[in-house]
Structures are given as C-alpha cells and as structure tokens.
Amino acid sequence: MNQQEQNFEIDRLAKTLRQVSEQIQISEQSSDNQRDTLQATLRDYWKSGGGNSTDEAQFIETMDRQRALSTHIHYSARHLHKMLKSPYFGRIDFTETDERRPEMIYIGIGSLSDKETGSFLIYDWRAPVASMFYDYGQGAAAYHCPAGTITGVISLKRQFKIVNGQIEYMFDSDLKIDDEILQQLLSKSADDKMHTIVNSIQREQNQIIRDQAHRVLFVEGPAGSGKTSAALHRVAFLLYQDRAGLTSQNVLILSPNHIFGDYISSVLPEIGEENVVQMTFQDYVARSAAEMPVQFEARTTYLEYMLTPNPDPKRVANIRFKSSEFFCQALLRYLDRLASDRVDNYPAITVRGETIFYQDEWRHYYTGSFAMMPPVLRLEKIKTIIQKRLSEVIQRIRQEKIEEIIIAGEEINEKVIKALARIQTRDELRATTDQLEQLTTLDVLNEYKQLFKHNRLLTETGLAIPADWEIIQKQTCAFLQKGLLPYEDIPPFLYFQGILQGFPAKPDIKHVIIDEAQDYTSFQYKILAQLFPNCSWTIVGDPAQAVQPYLMTASFKEASTSIGVENTLLFRLTKSYRSTREIQALCQALLPDAGEVFSVNRSGPLPVIVQVQQSREQTAVIASTIQAMLDQGWRSIGVITKTAAQAMTVYPTIDHTVRPSLVTKEDDEFYRGVVVMPAYLAKGLEFDAVLVVNADDINYSHDQDRHILYTICTRALHRLVLYYTDTPSPFIARLDPALYKNKPDW
C-alpha cells in the first residue's frame, strides 16, 4: 500500500470519527430529551389524579413505548461509543456488474451513514453486502439480498486494526482472511472470557452464521473449530435480520453449565448486542425437583461416581437403558396408550342406584372434548363435571336426611339437625367420593414406579423384554424406594411428567442455541422441544467430546426426530483454530477414527508427556512447569483432572504463591490464572497451557475415557503437558513418539 493510500485511509478514519462523535452528541441529546419526556408524562399523569382504567391503560402503553425508545437510544449510544474506538475492520471495493465505478464498502460492528448525503460510511458486518468480506478475496464475488443475488468484482480487500481511534495496522489481502492474521490473533494469551471473531470469521463459519433457510441447523466440528463462536455470531446476525420480530429476550442459549455461560457472556455485548437469555438443562431440572416428593440425584454426584474406575455394572446397565432409543420408544408408546386407553375400563358413577356419570362419558370427555389437554388436566376437568352432578344429588340426600331426623324426633335444634344430615350424607357417599378421587388422580411418580415395579412398561406396550430388564427393574425400584431419582432417570421422568401434567412452555422463545449438544439424550431434546414450541434451533456439538460415560446420547438424526422438525441441515466444520499444530496433531491421534481436520498454520513446542515417580515428584514437577509457563507470559493455566475428587486432591499440592483457584462446582466462579478443575467443567473453555494430571491407565483406559482425555487436551492453545505415574494410559502409550517429547525444553 503506497503512502498516498495510507494517507487516504488516515483521512477517511478522521472523517468517520468526526461523524461518529457528532452522532454521539445527537444521540445523547435525544436521550436527555427522551428522559425529560418520560418524566413529564409521569408527572402529568399523577397531577391529573391517576384517571380511570382507560387512562391507565393508555398511560402504561405510552410509558412502555417511551421506555423502549429510551432503551433503543441508550444502546445505539453505547454502540457509537464502541465505534469511536474502532469504527471498522475491513474494506472491500466492489464493482457491481453493469456498473463502472467500484463502491468502497467499509465494514464494522455497526452501520453509520453520512448525516448529509445519507450514504453509508460503514456497513454493519451483518449487512448482506458485508458477507462478501468473509466469503471472497479479489475477483468475482456475489451476495444475496432481498432483491436477489448481486454479482460483481472485488478489486480490493483491506483489513484494519483500529484501536482507540488509531490505525494500528492495515494491509491488503488477496485471499479471504488468511492464516497469517489468524496466526496473529490466535497466538495471544487466552482470556477468562471468550471474545468476538467478527473481523476474522471464516467462510465456512459465515455460512452457519447467515443461514436462514433451515429451522434446525446442526453444526458438527472438531474441538476448537469455532462452533460456539459461530453460534453466538449467528445470534447477533438473527437479531440484526429481524429487528422488529426478534429481541434478545426471544433468544435462549442452553449452556452445559454456568461457568461456560459466564465465559461466553462477553461476545454479544462486544459487538453491541444485549446478552440473550441463558439457561442450563440443570436449571430446569432444579426447578422441577423443588416440587417433587423424591430427591433428584445431583449431576456432580452422578458424574463423580461414574467416572471412578469401576462403577457398578448394574448401574451402568441402568444408565444405558434409560438413555436408549428402546426406552424412549417404549415410554412414548406407553404414554400414547395412557392418553387414549386410560379410562376405557372406568366404571359408571352411581349413587343409590342412580347413574350420575355413565361409563362411556369417561371416554367421551377423555379422548374427545378434553383430548388436547394433558391427561392430568383432563381427569381434573372430568372430576369437576362429576362433582357438579354429585352436588345436586348431595342436596337431595341431605334434605331427605333432615326430614328423617325431624320425623325421628330425637333432635330439635335446627343447626344440629343440618350438621347431622351433612355428616350422614358425607358418610353415605364416602365410597363414591373416594372412588372418584382415586379414578381422577394421576400420581406421576407412582405411575413411573409402576412402569418397573409391575412391569407395566412391557405389559402395556407389548414390547419384547430387553436385555438386563430384571437388573433395571430392581435398580429403579431400589432407588425410588430410598426416595431418590437417579440422574439417568431424570430426563425420562421429566418428559413423562411433562406429557402427563403439561410443560411450562415458553412460547416467547423464538430461537434456541444448544452448545455441547453431544451430551444430550433424546429425552432431553424432547423436553426442550416441548418447552420451546415456537422456535428455530442452532445445535452445535462434537461427538468426540462426549464426557458422560455410558450415556447413550442422541445422534443429530435422533435429535431432529425428537425435536420433530424436518427442515434441518447438518453443517460440518473442518478447520480447528484453537491449538497449535503440534497440540492438535496429538489430540487427533488420541481418536482412532478422527476424520481429517485442518489447522491454522500456527506452530509451537511439541506436547510433553512426563512420567513422575510418585506424588512428591509430581508436585515439584507441576510447580516448576507452572512457574515456567508464567515466566513465559502465559496467563491462563488449566490443571485438569478427570474428577472433582482428584482436583481437590491436587489443589493443595499446587504452590499457593501462584494463587491457584479450585473449581469443582457448576456455579463456581472462573478466573484467569492457575485453575484446577475436572474435565467435565472445563468443557468449552480454553487455556494457554493445559496440565493433565494422572494420565495413567487407571484413569483413562476405557473407550469412553478416550473422549475425556481428548476433551482435556483440546483445551490447550499453546502448551500441553501430560503426567502419569506408573503405567501411562493406553491411549498415550499408543501414540507415535514423534508427536511428543518426554522432557520439556522451556
């Protein structure tokens, strides 16, 4: 780029910043005006004495409108302040077919138009025309917009780094955002929060972000391929596309845990969007558990137990069965029958030989008039009908009783006579009211028990006896007998309960992102589909990172069947960005059938696999490694164990002068620095350096352990060290020695 061009860009930036400043002033002025209007509206209303309900309704509507406007002004001012620091990061010169002159298109986190001419000074990165910045280098290019596909030629592509209103660097790139800039971006130290990748979104990621043709978008990709990043930027894109119909309150992110939720919480605000609603599946479980007469097993208790070297095979059989497609289908069949046949053999309700509710009326209401309601509600409605009819009979009987008591002449006080008649009527009808109660009460927990206790799951569905059925029956009954619902029973039970009682659906949620989707079972998807009936979905995951042993999680195909949407697309990412080439090579080698994964051409030292003789030596070696990493300027170091119990053992051995923190619970705070934590909480996070403690055969020898080890190692950006004591994990022992060293040289 010659000097003249550099000067042009410097002037262009100055002009843009002037415009941004002016617009900030206007925005702040209108914010002040808006605040005054709001206060004046409030004052006038109270001065006028409140008014009638029509006035009040109007007043509330006015206030809501003014508040919404105020919020909007506030956000655009915040956006402009961000733009004052860094208004754009890219430029393309695009000549549309049939046009002679190119248009200079500057791309930033928001749009800005010239106050006087109205022309765009900056295009929002989500604008249709901006997609070419991510999709093309110089040469023929095209983009889609409501008017159709626009074609043309890109004659220049320029990238900027503007910090605090100053150009730090700018360069022209021939290709799409290429490896060089990525290398630079990725060679930095990891933060305790994830950051936006808006200025370096890759073409394959851009396709995910901008897809609008599918109601369910599945994204599968190796560790570090930007699945979470793409999903979050997709949220920003959807919010931009549908400003009128979609707000941040209509979008929900389902995170694996709150640590992860906190980790990703900066991305949207960084690009000027409000954070969306966040939730974990455990939040839903906890809310449901609060109302149950049985204790739900905590996820951590379950995981800690299942991650021990030799969990009870009976429990393993139970976990496999409860998350299997067989059980899912069996339960669905059972629920279908319950929804249609439950009342088939219910008797007529009679009092003194008079039928007040005929036998066929059960079916008439249950599968007819009330068929759209959940069964519990249907029975309640029918009960109300019967009670109403019964109350007429009760009045008649009471009157008869009163007359009988008067004729008997044993009592003359009117009040006492009435009370006696009431008691006698109640006693006479007790059998009927008890019968009614019993027929119309559906105790969900008891119903669930009966599936196993009395074999109803099979007898009612006619399905063949599955392997290990007796073990599963006994296990389930034994747990429930103790008042405990085991973790593997929670999703099927909550689904069962939801179908019978109804789900607390959230129709306002219009888009749901599921991260770490490889850990969800079919039942979980089914529950989510009921909770969010009106939404589209972005579901991202990596089957190689399934860290819950024995659980039969849903494939993407099973997930889409469970969600019940046909308009789906499975998108596969193939490039990984997080780790150095060397770390990535070792991670890929841990998987037996890893497909080809491309990496950014970023090199670093080989991973290190060290044998330590005993725990005293391990303590010393870890201490010196951490110190060496810190001395080299790496700021986030993850000491990652298989279980929380192991993390708690390792934590006290870490030199406390490096101020380590221990993270063992899903809602613990997560800070940058030296962090000791179990693998299942480190999911989705990343560290400059990862130290894998106890990489022995005791911890990592079964096939499911392989995925845990892979997940841990893929958290590393720049350095990876694995320690073992006696025998290394077979997954390590089988590695090609060229992939690692036995001694660190840092």
Ligand X SMILES: Nc1ncnc2c1ncn2[C@@H]1O[C@H](COP(=O)(O)OP(=O)(O)OP(=O)(O)O)[C@@H](O)[C@H]1O
Residue 224, annotated as binding a ligand: yes
378 contacts ligand X (rule: CB under 6 A): no
Q: How far is the CB of 672 from ligand X (least distance, A)?
A: 14
Q: How far is the CB of 688 from ligand X (least distance, A)?
A: 11
Closest CA to 48 of 56, 36, 57: 56
Rama region for 368: left / alpha / beta (φ>0; ψ in -120 to 50; rest): alpha
- Residue whose CB is less far from ligand X, 234 or 511: 234
- Residue whose CB is less far from ligand X, 13 or 513: 513
Separation between Cα atoms, residue 632 and residue 626, nearest integer Å: 10
505-524 mask for ligand X (x: CB under 6 A)? --------------------
Q: How far is the CB of 542 from ligand X (least distance, A)?
A: 5
202 contacts ligand X (rule: CB under 6 A): yes
CB 583 within 8 A of CB 165: no
- Residue whose CB is less far from ligand X, 228 or 521: 228
Q: How far is the CB of 209 from ligand X (least distance, A)?
A: 10
- Residue whose CB is less far from ligand X, 182 or 390: 182
Q: Which residue has the tokens 């720049």?
A: 718
- Residue whose CB is less far from ligand X, 485 or 600: 600
Amino acid at 509: I
Residue 293, annotated as binding a ligand: no
Q: How far is the CB of 207 from ligand X (least distance, A)?
A: 12
Q: For ligand X, which stretch binds (CB under 6 A), given 42-50, 193-201, 385-393, 450-458? A: 193-201
Q: For ligand X, which stretch binds (CB under 6 A), given 1-9, 159-167, 194-202, 305-313? A: 194-202
Q: How far is the CB of 552 from ligand X (least distance, A)?
A: 21
Residue 745 tokens, joined: 């040289």
Separation between Cα atoms, residue 544 and residue 706, nearest integer Å: 9
CA–centroid distance for 303 within its chain: 19
Among 121, 162, 201, 451, binds ligand X (CB under 6 A): 201
Which residues between 443 and 472 bind ligand X (CB under 6 A)?
none
How many chain residues bind ligand X (CB under 6 A)? 23
Q: For ligand X, which stretch binds (CB under 6 A), given 200-208, 439-447, 612-620, 646-654? A: 200-208
Among 135, 204, 542, 582, binds ligand X (CB under 6 A): 542
DSSP string, 310-336: S--HHHHHHHHHHTSHHHHHHHHHHHH
Q: Which residues contact 341 (CB under 8 A, 6 or more apart)?
A: none
Separation between Cα atoms, residue 510 and residue 522, nearest integer Å: 21
Among 185, 471, 569, 630, binds ligand X (CB under 6 A): 185
- Residue whose CB is less far from ligand X, 93 or 191: 191
Q: Positive or negative, the Cα torsion across 243, 246, 249, 254?
A: negative
Q: How far is the CB of 223 from ligand X (least distance, A)?
A: 3
- Residue whose CB is less far from ligand X, 42 or 185: 185
Residue 222, annotated as binding a ligand: yes
Q: How far is the CB of 217 from ligand X (least distance, A)?
A: 15
Separation between Cα atoms, residue 368 and residue 374, nearest integer Å: 13
C-alpha count within 13 angstroms, C-beta hemisphere, residue 162: 27
CB 242 within 8 A of CB 208: no
Residue 223, annotated as binding a ligand: yes
Separation between Cα atoms, residue 372 and residue 670, nearest integer Å: 46
684 contacts ligand X (rule: CB under 6 A): yes
Q: For ligand X, which stretch binds (CB under 6 A), given 6-14, 198-206, 443-451, 632-640? A: 198-206
Q: Which residue has the tokens 């019993």?
A: 438
Which residues between 307 and 336 bind ligand X (CB under 6 A)?
none
- Residue whose CB is less far from ligand X, 493 or 687: 687
CB 221 within 8 A of CB 543: no
Separation between Cα atoms, residue 633 and residue 619, nearest integer Å: 21
- Residue whose CB is less far from ligand X, 202 or 476: 202
Residue 281 tokens, joined: 């599946």
Angle 239-33-63 from CA coordinates, rounded to 5°: 65
Q: How far is the CB of 559 from ligand X (least distance, A)?
A: 17
- Residue 295 pairs in a beta bridge with 484
Residue 131 DSSP symbol: H
545-564 mask for ligand X (x: CB under 6 A)? x-------------------
Q: How far is the CB of 253 from ligand X (least distance, A)?
A: 13
Residue 179 tokens, joined: 């490896």
Among 105, 112, 197, 457, binds ligand X (CB under 6 A): 197
Q: For ligand X, which stretch binds (CB under 6 A), given 100-108, 199-207, 292-300, 670-678? A: 199-207
Helix/strand/coil (H/E/C) assignment for every residue in 271-314:
CCCCCCEEEEHHHHHHHHHCCCCCEECCHHHHHHHHCCCCCCHH
Q: For ligand X, which stretch binds (CB under 6 A), given 157-165, 195-203, 296-304, 580-588? A: 195-203
Residue 75 tokens, joined: 């956000």
CB 662 within 8 A of CB 647: yes
> At 218, phi and psi to the nearest 5?
-95, 135
- Residue whose CB is less far from ligand X, 323 or 711: 711
Q: Which residue has the tokens 């006080």?
A: 413
Residue 228, annotated as binding a ligand: yes
Separation between Cα atoms, residue 483 and residue 89, nearest integer Å: 59
Q: How far is the CB of 157 from ligand X (least distance, A)?
A: 16
Q: How far is the CB of 475 from ligand X (least distance, A)?
A: 33
Q: Which residues contact 301 (CB under 8 A, 6 or more apart)?
A: 487
Residue 369 DSSP symbol: I
Q: How far is the CB of 575 from ligand X (least distance, A)?
A: 8
Please tell me whether residue 122 adopts helix, strand or coil conformation. Answer: strand
Amino acid at 311: P
209-248 mask for ligand X (x: CB under 6 A)? ------------x-xxxxxxx-------------------
Residue nearest ligand X (C-beta atom) = 226
Separation between Cα atoms, residue 378 and residue 348, nearest integer Å: 17
Rama region for 549: left / alpha / beta (φ>0; ψ in -120 to 50; rest): beta
154-183 mask for ligand X (x: CB under 6 A)? ----------------------------x-
- Residue whose CB is less far from ligand X, 425 or 580: 580
Q: How far is the CB of 200 from ligand X (least distance, A)?
A: 4
Residue 466 DSSP symbol: P
- Residue whose CB is less far from ligand X, 342 or 578: 578
C-alpha count within 13 angstroms, C-beta hemisphere, residue 417: 16
Separation between Cα atoms, residue 574 and residue 596, nearest integer Å: 7
Beta strands 112-113 and 120-124, pairing class:
antiparallel
Q: How far is the CB of 690 from ligand X (least distance, A)?
A: 12
> At 93, phi and psi to the nearest 5?
-105, 115
CB 510 within 8 A of CB 534: yes
- Residue whose CB is less far from ligand X, 226 or 272: 226
- Residue whose CB is less far from ligand X, 521 or 711: 711
578 contacts ligand X (rule: CB under 6 A): yes
* Burial environment of residue 373 by CB neighbours within 10 A (0 to 12, 13 to 18, 19 or more): middle
Residue 227, annotated as binding a ligand: yes
Binding residues for ATP: 221-228
Binding residues: 221-228
Residue ranges in contact with ligand X by CB under 6 A: 182, 185-186, 197, 200-202, 205, 221, 223-229, 542, 545, 577-578, 684, 686, 714
